[in-house]
Chains A and B, each alone.
Chain A
Amino acid sequence: MISPAIKIASSRFPNEISEIEVKRDVSKCINCGTCAKVCPFGVHERKTGYNRVSKPLSYLCIGTSCEDNPFYCVNRCPRNALSLDISSEYSTIGDYRWTRDLIIGTWKQAETGMPLKGRRYEIGNSGGGFDRIFFNFPKDEDGIEDEDISTGIELNRRKGKKISIEVPFYGGGMSFGSVSLSVMLARAKAARAWGTFTCTGEGGYPEKLKEYDDNVITQVATGLFGVMEDTIQRVKIVEFKYAQGAKPGLGGHLLGDKVTPEVARMREAVLGSSLFSPFPFHSVYSVEDHKKHVDWIKEINPDAIVSVKVSTPTDVDMVAVGSYYAGANIIHLDGSYGGTGAAPDIAKKNIAMPIEYAIPKVHEFLKEQGMRDKMTLIASGGIRTAHDAAKAIALGADGVVIGTAELVALGCVRCGNCESGRGCPRGIATTDPELSRAVDVEWGAQRLINLYAAWRSEIVEVLRRFGMRSVKELVGRYDCLCYVDITRRK
């Protein structure tokens, strides 16, 4: 079992957003340093050689639950200069799907690598789907040791080279252009550390990713940008992107001024000219056409396994079966509520069904058709937490793909302005040379390694409570879940 080192990777901002704001009334404070002495969490500090106590690091504070402790700074301050309050940032951040607690919780996980307890870190506030599905944990536990629990899954269940990953999740496709090179490298490093994969998206294969070849999935999408024999031969998994959940059925459009020399070279395109990625594959209108594509990949790289990424229309079950007959190893369903890149709001909200419905639909249909144990079913599009991942698996998926959670770990606040103006104000989803400097590769990789560690611990905990020794046992275990009907709440 791989277990990369967890190291604290603090926020890259001077002021981390936190739930609690520790206020120090400077007019009352006499800089005695009592608070710095008592607080075990490091909220208060008086650096050696300084007469004044530093400004409080509010995000380390555990809040009013500290009240009864002998070291509660508010009580211990001789001048009553300290007080705790809910911060205005905390009240402002977040939305229905990614609540303030999910965002801040993901940051905490990325910083410390520790799992979090409490429902507010497990579900959002969307009122449906995963937010209404809960686990039916048995009362008694079998007492399995965490060390005996495996979270690994097999990605190829057909003939050919076996590929397994140590954690039941891997990184979704994000192209160079939609995210910066540092973000891509950080993701690749974390994927290698955890023995899983990351995906290039449709935008070419940057040279610097070469050393991570064994942990990279390269994408062949409708625009065929940056698809070269060389890149296909280098990787273990090739992903066909037929559609993506955030904008199902819509083409992509990279504006001309974003086609910088670097982007143009990697995409084999003309500098400064707009690039359209059409919908759908204009050469695939049948399962036979689809098979032709898969065969083509297997001809170029016989060891590669093929993943087919589709979004979730009503006939997604038929599409999955068609992909099986075309020779795909992985069917990757991308639900409508996820996605990382910029997409029309109307598409994100309305087009195609949420992943929660698509997983059991496809799982059941593949079982009926007798090919469930030949296909690996991967779900994505709205997997925000480890609990979402475990629920998706219990609904019938083998594993999940994550995207937004990784970006949040790197400091995304989900403001959604990935595309407006100069680009991502957080320096993540941008190739602007100045903005993208904000993310350091080492720091980013550590944040993601920590996040994966926290997720893995949470999944292990779920499995332990169900008395399962492997995440594979959880696949399609509907009995482990219950659906809470909020409309009928008493």
Chain B
Amino acid sequence: MPKKYSIDVTPTPPRYPPVGKFEIERGENCINCGRCAIACLYDVHKRQEEDPRCMAEPVDYRCKGCFSCIQECPREALAIRENKEYPKLGDSYWTPEIISSNWYQAETGKIPVSGAGYRGPFSGEGFDSMWTDMSEIVRPTRDGIHGREYISTVVEIGRKLPAIKFDAIGEIASPTPPALSIPLPIIFNTPPFGRYGNVYEAMAKAASYLGTFMIVDPDEWFKSEENREGGIGNRGHTSHLIPHISHLTPHTFEADLIKTCKMVELEYEEDVLGMVNEAKKLSPGTIVSVRVPFGDNVEKIVEELTYAGVEVIHLYADVNGQTFKKSLIKNASQQTFRKSLFIKDMTLNVHRHLVDLKIRDEVTLIVSGGIAMAEHVAKSIVCGADLTAIDLPLLIALECRYCKECLNNQTFKKSLIGNAPQAPQSCPIELKNANPEWGAKRIINLIGAWRNQLLEVLGAMGLREVRRLRGEVGRAIFIEEIEKETFDKVFVSPQYIK
């Protein structure tokens, strides 16, 4: 039995006070009695250090919204409201709840736990339109998180042979394609912004510790490393890199990369197969992945690539999980409009297409775009992905608020060429200055918490291996199907709100 894989987490506090959900205001009629300090269990209220006769300003971000101080204050001097900055975190997909939950996980490495039931909407778009199943009595389940029975999160990247041929003396005669085994179904994608040397370094350190891989843009990676007189080879993380090569040129640097790395990724274009062959010629032992956008015709492209012998396909959607395929939707007033399909539905389509052709195991599918929470990893796999690649959560682990100031600023600067230079908007958490050691710990914590949540989901289903979850749509409850199955018997026809 191989050594148990586990992720050691270390509490790693943020560098800046996080944006809390609540704001506490102390009114002027406060009599400094200190009742609030007794009522509060979270150290929001304290006396001033320099003058203990007075109460200090409340430390808002620690507030957990229990309302005890508000209700206990003999003078009604305290008021609570939602912090105005809180709803500004992220956007409608990367909600403030998702961002602060990931912060918590990056700080503590713990699974978010809370009491008194679920508090969110009944269901929603995309990943929120499905639930995962559990097994009740007859199927034995495993308790992975408390360590008594081991649940494996190992996944393989590479082609799986449908059958193996043996020669006369019993040796394997089939050519064995290269394969990588990684201990968890998560690799790191190139982040959409914030690609600073220190960020890459934190990611690389974390990937190396976790035993997973990170996809990097070799130009950027090389440049930033060179600036610091290291070069990738010297840092010992090369074995965890997947260079993403957009155009194969006879550049020696790229050839070297292909030879030194266990896996490379090529951008999909018309003649991609030629490039794949060339890369394979340079280094037959290197796994070559092709990066394909989730767009029109993606099923056909994946089919062709698989038939042509491509081992790994990385399907990507945008940062919000919206694919580049639009479908026509009718709204209430019978107007048709085009709407992007969500990554979960497209993953299902591709997976089912390959299953129908009986070639699903010949290719590994990596899916990325919009993976924002641990549950999205499990749900992507249920829908047919072998593993997922994540990007923005890595930056969130490094305290990013996804305020998009840096993005807006870049486009702003571009539009102002020739004009007076605008003062650059500063990143509120100065991502550029984050210490890579600190960053690596935060990323490791986040992934540790995500993996434990994946174990919870697998344990509830009675699965002992994440590989068995792939494409197991019977282990999921889709809202359209369950409504049809149950509510169609109950309600004759839905009525409209008048």
CB contact under 8 A between A421 and B490, given known A342-B115, A346-B457 = no
Among A250, A422, A481, point to the contact of B460 (Cβ < 8 A): A250
Residues in B with CB closer than 8 Å to A381 are 117
**Pair A412/B116 contact, Cβ less than 8 Å:** yes
Report Cα–Cα, A414/B137, bound state, in Å.
31
Interface bits B463-498 vs A (CB < 8 Å: 1, else 0) = 000000000001001000011011101110011110
Residues in A with CB closer than 8 Å to B71 are 11, 13-17
**Pair B137/A353 contact, Cβ less than 8 Å:** no
**Pair A346/B490 contact, Cβ less than 8 Å:** no
**What total of A-B pairs shows CB separation below 8 Å?**
285
Residue among A16, A414, A420, A425 with the most chain B CB within 10 A? A425
Q: Which of A310-356 contact B (CB under 8 A)?
A: 310-311, 313-316, 319, 322, 336-354
- Tell me whether B143 is interfacial, beta carbon within 8 Å: yes
Residues in A with CB closer than 8 Å to B496 are 484-485, 488-490
- Tell me whether B1 is interfacial, beta carbon within 8 Å: no
Q: Which A-chain residue is minimally distant from B77 (CB atoms)?
A: A15
Q: Which of A275-321 contact B (CB under 8 A)?
A: 276, 278-282, 284-287, 290, 310-311, 313-316, 319
- Tell me whether A357 is interfacial, beta carbon within 8 Å: yes
Report Cα–Cα, A347/B486, bound state, in Å.
22
CB contact under 8 A between A17 and B482, given known A351-B134, A421-B42 = no
Among A279, A314, A416, A485, point to the contact of B495 (Cβ < 8 A): A485
- Tell me whether A69 is interfacial, beta carbon within 8 Å: no
- Tell me whether A33 is interfacial, beta carbon within 8 Å: no
Q: Contacting chain B: which of A44-52, A127-135, A159-167?
A: A127-135
Among B67, B116, B146, point to the contact of A404 (Cβ < 8 A): B116
**Pair B131/A352 contact, Cβ less than 8 Å:** yes
**Pair A345/B113 contact, Cβ less than 8 Å:** yes
Report Cα–Cα, A50/B477, bound state, in Å.
64
CB contact under 8 A between A319 and B137, given known A382-B117, A481-B490 = yes
Among B123, B137, B333, B494, point to the contact of A485 (Cβ < 8 A): B494
Residue among A129, A249, A424 with the most chain B CB within 10 A? A249
Task: Give min CB distance, B446 to chain A, whole Å.
Answer: 14
Report Cα–Cα, A248/B419, bound state, in Å.
61
**A-B CB contact pairs (8 Å), 30 listed:** A11-B71, A15-B76, A91-B82, A92-B82, A97-B118, A126-B120, A126-B122, A129-B122, A131-B122, A253-B146, A279-B143, A282-B140, A286-B138, A339-B115, A346-B112, A346-B374, A346-B456, A347-B457, A349-B120, A351-B133, A404-B117, A415-B67, A417-B114, A422-B41, A424-B115, A426-B66, A426-B68, A485-B495, A488-B332, A488-B494
Using a CB–CB cutoff of 8 Å, the interface residues on chain A facing chain B are 11, 13-17, 55, 88-89, 91-93, 95-98, 126-129, 131-132, 242-243, 246, 248-251, 253, 276, 278-282, 284-287, 290, 310-311, 313-316, 319, 322, 336-354, 357, 360-361, 364, 381-382, 395, 404, 407, 412-426, 429, 478, 481-490
Using a CB–CB cutoff of 8 Å, the interface residues on chain B facing chain A are 22, 39-42, 64-68, 70-74, 76, 79-82, 101, 111-123, 131-141, 143, 145-146, 148, 332-333, 373-375, 378-379, 453, 456-457, 459-462, 474, 477, 482-483, 485-487, 489-491, 494-497
